[in-house]
Structure 1
Amino acid sequence: MILDLNFEIGEDLKLILNSINELMESQWSTKKLRAVMEGNKEYVEQIWKEIIKLDILPYFSTLPLRDVVIINEFIGKKLLPGIVISSMVASRGIKNKDILNKLYSGEVKIAISDSNFVPSADQADYILVNNKLIRKENSTIQTFNSLDNSMKISKVEYNNYDNVEVNNAEIALLLASQMVGSGEEVVNMSIKYSKERIAFGKPIGSYQAIKHRVVNNAIDVELVRSLVIEASDNIKYVWLAKDLANKKIPKTIMSGIQVHGGIGFTDDIDIHLHLRRVLTLSKLYNSEINFSEFLQPI
């Protein structure tokens, strides 16, 4: 995280984050993500089983929303496979106990969307479109290559579905927090690179053009993060927070690519993976915002 948040999270949350970090450090990497994007499903199953063993999903239903937002922010940095992150988000959004129990046990995975274009539907057992829960076998899906091929987009057609209780606002907020995590990771990568890359005998971070760009990127990410955290306490800000994340985070990551210069546009570093992910998440759970709701008379 860009700022030191130790002052605002409790000991239980610190333990959860440490457990997730240990799991990610030992079991996951962007090298494996690249393999997943090329069609390796074994790595998806491996990390899914480890997450189920960690028993983190039941906590998502019981923790305060702010804590779940912070956890998802951390998860966003790690770029887990699309079907894994959608299943984790669904474990907070869905309120149906029978479905949740299947999810907690790892029996099913769930793809989520607010339209019939659904990332990761090809890897899901259930497909959640708003409040409609569709069994994969009761649907017809047509899958396309996507920007982020760890969560390919499928067009889903269906007739049979169950109406289930879902908090779509919470789902949107967790997706926004994952976008913030990607933005934070890219800012941290830019800071590290600007300290290490030498040009004309000095680190490029000592030049004002780079320094100002990195600082502005950090401010933009922290601006979005502040609104996401506020929305976890006041749910009426959710769609505003998601809209701001959609607008700010992809631009921040593009700016981070420019900080890295020519190498930023290659596959040698991971920035483009974050860009692919946030552009995909930015297309999900967008709500038309009535800005007049947030205006106050002078």
Structure 2
Amino acid sequence: MDFSLNQEQEMFRNYVRKYLDDMGQTKIAREFTQGNTSSYKELYEGLAELGCASVNIQEEYGGMGLKQLDLVPIMEESGRALLPGLYLETSALAVPLLEKYGTNEQKRKYLSAIAGGEHTFTLAWLEVGGNYKPANVRLQGTVDGDVITLNGVKTLVPEAEMADSLLVLVRTTDGQDQEGISLVIVDRDEVALQIKNQKNIDETRLLAEVTFNEVQVSKNQILGAMDNGWEVLQEGLLSFNAALCATIVGGMEKIVETAVEYANIREQFGQPIGRFQAIKHRLVDMKMDLETARSLAYYANWAMEINAADKVEAITSARLFATEAYIRVASQSIQVHGGIGFTEEMDCHLYVKRARFYENYLGSTQQYYEQAAVALGW
């Protein structure tokens, strides 16, 4: 079975790569680590003009009406460039959830703005001292008529200051584990949130602690049915993780290309180090990890697009392998580069940090192993 991308998808990839090349590839990520986000905003506007923000949005809301696989080339190119910001979370998590569970009012309000590159989403899930399990969702949402009052603290929220809206997991009814959890959309320009920046191993991704103190939102801001937020989020995480795997593949591809190029120009004992068997074996292992991750990622996105019976095991298996392989390949690249691989002037350290960031992003490795085992009937 052939899971390669079609001619139109590859053509669109070329447009995106040329644009990101013109913008300096990892230059934007490096500027992001220094607090300069203006160049990123310019880049995001350019991606929106190319149509990247509207790929999987219905035509009636200004989108192209395409599917999950059409996101893959964009995600791969964003992974190559270590694109900061919330493109992944907006296009691969918020959009599919709005398309499937959003009311007509929510779709009109958000999807058109997303398609135009004017609106981004982040996810507020983790809480202080907690983990990704439902029992640790403690932020209270008190329902009084048509108003929900939010009180609590979310931590490690990606790009909270840059996001236009937050998808917030809220406990609207007392219950055990996933019972009583709702997914609420909170628009930053309509409420007062206390946002405190946090340190992150990957400085190209900004994290923040967000405090909700008597924050009131309309009951119409609930995404999906009330008290059914956990199930809604889990469905969204399938499309998100499939797209995340493609992003990781893009990063791995760039790492392998860079390592091979360096091995061919760096000389030791009068010849390129790429001729040494130890380096050859290392590069082959990196290439094998890349192509395995690519195959798993393409199948995962295909399974998501056609709603295949094995989509859960396909996506969780791809997520597990890709995140672990990304760490291996990024670490191997530093070994190939030697001492210079540890310096700031090389991009090696940026990919290692991004790989570590994704390792337990929106779900721990252990949780995904358990999810894959359950899906496989083990």
Same fold, judged at TM 0.5 (above): yes
Residue type matched to 1:133 in 2? I
Structure with the larger helix share: 1
Q: In structure 2, do the counterparts of structure 1 residues 194 and 122 end up closer, same or farther at CA, with 3 Å as the change threshold?
A: same
Q: Which runs of 5+ in 2 are unaligned?
A: 58-64, 127-153, 170-182, 225-232, 304-310
Provide the residue aligned with 1:76 in structure 2: 79
Q: What is the count of residue pairs matched by the alignment? A: 291
Taking the aligned partners of 2:9 and 2:332, their CA distance within structure 1 comes to: 32
Please give the TM-score of this superposition, normalised by the length of structure 2.
0.70
Larger Rg: 2
2:5 is the counterpart of 1:9: yes
Provide the residue aligned with 2:39 in structure 1: 43
Q: Which runs of 5+ in 1 are unaligned?
A: none
Selected match of 1:121 from 132, 157, 160: 160
Residue type matched to 2:269 in 1? F
Provide the residue aligned with 1:26 in structure 2: 22
CA contact (8 A) 1:91 1:100 kept: no
Taking the aligned partners of 1:84 and 1:9, their CA distance within structure 2 comes to: 21
Provide the residue aligned with 1:99 in structure 2: 110
2:257 is the counterpart of 1:185: no
* 1:40-95 Cα shifts (integer Å, max 9, x gaps): 12112111111122222221333232232233122210122223443343464332
CA contact (8 A) 2:95 2:111 kept: no
2:186 is the counterpart of 1:147: no
CA contact (8 A) 2:87 2:120 kept: yes
Q: In structure 2, do the counterparts of structure 1 residues 21 and 102 end up closer, same or farther at CA, with 3 Å as the change threshold?
A: same
Q: In structure 2, do the counterparts of structure 1 residues 111 and 28 end up closer, same or farther at CA, with 3 Å as the change threshold?
A: farther
CA contact (8 A) 2:243 2:301 kept: no
CA contact (8 A) 2:88 2:243 kept: no
Taking the aligned partners of 1:178 and 1:233, their CA distance within structure 2 comes to: 15
Q: In structure 2, do the counterparts of structure 1 residues 174 and 27 end up closer, same or farther at CA, with 3 Å as the change threshold?
A: same
3-state SS of 2:244 partner: helix
CA contact (8 A) 2:89 2:240 kept: no
Please give the TM-score of this superposition, normalised by the length of structure 1.
0.88
Provide the residue aligned with 2:281 in structure 1: 212
Taking the aligned partners of 2:124 and 2:359, their CA distance within structure 1 comes to: 11
Provide the residue aligned with 2:375 in structure 1: 293
CA shift at 1:112, angstroms?
A: 3.4
- 1:261-272 correspondence to structure 2 within 5 Å: 261-272=338-349
Taking the aligned partners of 1:278 and 1:226, their CA distance within structure 2 comes to: 19
Report the aligned-residue RMSD: 2.4
Residue type matched to 2:291 in 1? E
CA shift at 1:129, angstroms?
A: 4.2
CA shift at 1:141, angstroms?
A: 2.5
* 1:117-173 Cα shifts (integer Å, max 9, x gaps): 222112111122464322233533221121222321112333556332562210122
CA contact (8 A) 2:259 2:336 kept: yes
CA contact (8 A) 2:10 2:73 kept: no
Taking the aligned partners of 1:143 and 1:160, their CA distance within structure 2 comes to: 23
Provide the residue aligned with 2:322 in structure 1: 245
CA contact (8 A) 2:55 2:67 kept: no
2:336 is the counterpart of 1:259: yes
Provide the residue aligned with 2:290 in structure 1: 221
Taking the aligned partners of 1:73 and 1:114, their CA distance within structure 2 comes to: 25
Taking the aligned partners of 1:206 and 1:189, their CA distance within structure 2 comes to: 16
CA shift at 1:275, angstroms?
A: 1.7
CA contact (8 A) 1:245 1:282 kept: no
Taking the aligned partners of 1:228 and 1:85, their CA distance within structure 2 comes to: 15
Provide the residue aligned with 2:67 in structure 1: 64
Residue type matched to 1:233 in 2? W
Percent of aligned positions that are identical: 25
Taking the aligned partners of 2:374 and 2:237, their CA distance within structure 1 comes to: 22
CA shift at 1:187, angstroms?
A: 0.9
Residue type matched to 1:134 in 2? V
Provide the residue aligned with 2:223 in structure 1: 164
Selected match of 1:273 from 341, 350, 355: 350
CA shift at 1:189, angstroms?
A: 0.7
Residue type matched to 1:164 in 2? L
